[in-house]
Amino acid sequence: MDVLSQVIDSMRSGRPRFARVTGHAVWGGRFQPVAGVTFHVVLRGACTLIPSAGDPVALGVGDVVLLANGHGHGLADRPGMELEDVPLTRRDEFRLEPRTVSLGPSGQPISAVVLSGMFPVDDKRCHPIINDLPDIIHLPAQLGHEPPLRNVIDLLGGELDKPGIGTESVIGSLLDALLLFALRAWYGSRGAWVGWGPALNDRVISHVLCRINNDPGRSWTVHDLGAEAGLSRSAFARRFTSLVGRPPLGYLTWVRMNVAAQQLRESDEPLEAVARKVGYGSEYAFATAFKRHFGTAPGTYRRQNSAISKGA
């Protein structure tokens, strides 16, 4: 598994949720802060993003906006509009169905249709890849620009307009693809020299990150990882730490802990098996490292977060 996919999987705390927001003539909606990454995709018309801080951002058809920190914000027909609350954080309204939330005078023509939603994220497991993102990522629609992202948007629009058999699963998969393609677009261009961008775009370090993420249970040493990079131990350690922001074995521990947390949430494997999977020779050593990282014992973490015990 590549780095970005592993990171997203490790941080997610639930399925993406969304609603289709329709704005009638003069309208404005207020979105409350959420524990996750908020997104908006303009499917029809135009509108304005009103951030909690900073200047308004004009949005057109096909534009994608990510708010990586889930900050509260507004969407409106134009700046200066009065905003009404959009109830998207309530579990009975913000769910995986083609549901519509209408804003503005219902008798007026529709001036914009926006697919709005969020990817639930546990901020305790948040990766620097996400922490390094700006508060607002705006990916404007451009002819021939980022074709995979544009294709996902088209498919989402079509599925919302004409839902059919399996629509919920289709939309869930398309939303996952939307997030990955949007982040790929950001890190591949605008984010190439920001935060984790250099690490993801560095062929040598990206290769090592993939090796660590694909095999976190291996007894990696800095020498081994340097050999994977084709560099001396010292040269590799300097380059990795400079780009990633932490030393190689520190990053390895971070990956191991997050893989272990995911196993505890999603499986009923014994703790000893989870420990072996992430490179620990004993359950005691694993439990000590896990508690140091998360502040709670593995067994307690499983009882509080297990999807199996909650019947999800």
Identify the CA nearest to 57 among candidates 113, 142, 131, 136: 136
Residue 89 above 70 pLDDT?
A: no
Residue 88 above 70 pLDDT?
A: no
What are the angstrom distances between the C-alpha of 186 and each of 12, 53, 119, 182, 197? 20, 21, 17, 6, 9
Q: Which residue, chain included where needed, has tokens 């058809």?
A: 61
Mean of pLDDT values over 251-276: 91
Mean of pLDDT values over 207-219: 91
Q: Which residue has the higher pLDDT, 95 or 221?
A: 221
Residue 310 above 70 pLDDT?
A: no
Question: Using one digit for the tens of pLDDT, what is the confidence trace for 255-266?
Answer: 899 889 889 988
Confidence of residue 80 (pLDDT cuts 50, 70, 90): confident
Contact 184, 4 (CB under 8 A): yes
| Cα 135 → chain centroid | 13
292 burial via Cβ count (<10 Å: 0-12, 13-18, 19+): exposed
Identify the CA nearest to 4 among candidates 253, 147, 225, 179: 179
Mean of pLDDT values over 86-94: 51
pLDDT of the residue at 64: 93
Confidence of residue 237 (pLDDT cuts 50, 70, 90): very high
What are the angstrom distances between the C-alpha of 71 and each of 11, 74, 89? 18, 10, 13
Q: Which residue has the higher pLDDT, 123 or 177?
A: 177
What are the strands, taking DSSP E only, across 25-99?
28-31, 36-45, 47-51, 57-59, 64-67, 73-76, 84-85
Q: Enumerate the H helices of 186-202 as residue ranges.
A: 197-201
CATH number of the structural domain 3-190? 2.60.120.10
pLDDT of the residue at 14: 74
| Cα 45 → chain centroid | 26
SS3 138: strand
Residue 285 above 60 pLDDT?
A: yes
Question: Using one digit for the tens of pLDDT, what is the confidence trace for 131-183?
Answer: 778 889 999 987 556 788 889 999 988 888 888 888 878 888 898 899 988 88
Average pLDDT, the chain: 85
Contacts of 61 (CB under 8 A, 6+ apart): 42, 43, 44, 45, 46, 141
Residue 230 above 60 pLDDT?
A: yes
Q: Which residue has the higher pLDDT, 74 or 35?
A: 74
Residue 94 above 70 pLDDT?
A: no
pLDDT of the residue at 16: 81
SS3 112: strand
Mean of pLDDT values over 237-247: 91
pLDDT of the residue at 93: 42
Residue 1 above 70 pLDDT?
A: no
Confidence of residue 126 (pLDDT cuts 50, 70, 90): low
Positive or negative CA dihedral for 191, 196, 198, 199?
Answer: negative
pLDDT of the residue at 146: 75
Q: Which residue has the higher pLDDT, 70 or 127?
A: 70
Domains of the chain, residue spans: 3-190, 202-305
Contact 120, 95 (CB under 8 A): no
pLDDT of the residue at 19: 84
Question: Using one digit for the tens of pLDDT, what is the confidence trace for 44-65?
Answer: 999 999 998 889 999 999 999 9
Which tokens in the block code for residue 40? 């908006």
Residue 201 above 50 pLDDT?
A: yes
Contact 17, 108 (CB under 8 A): no
Window from 115-124, 265-274, 302-311 with minimum mean pLDDT? 302-311
Give CB contacts under 8 A, 24+ apart, made by 223-229. Answer: 229/204, 229/205
Fold classification of 202-305 is Arc Repressor Mutant, subunit A (1.10.10)
pTM: 0.74
pLDDT of the residue at 206: 87
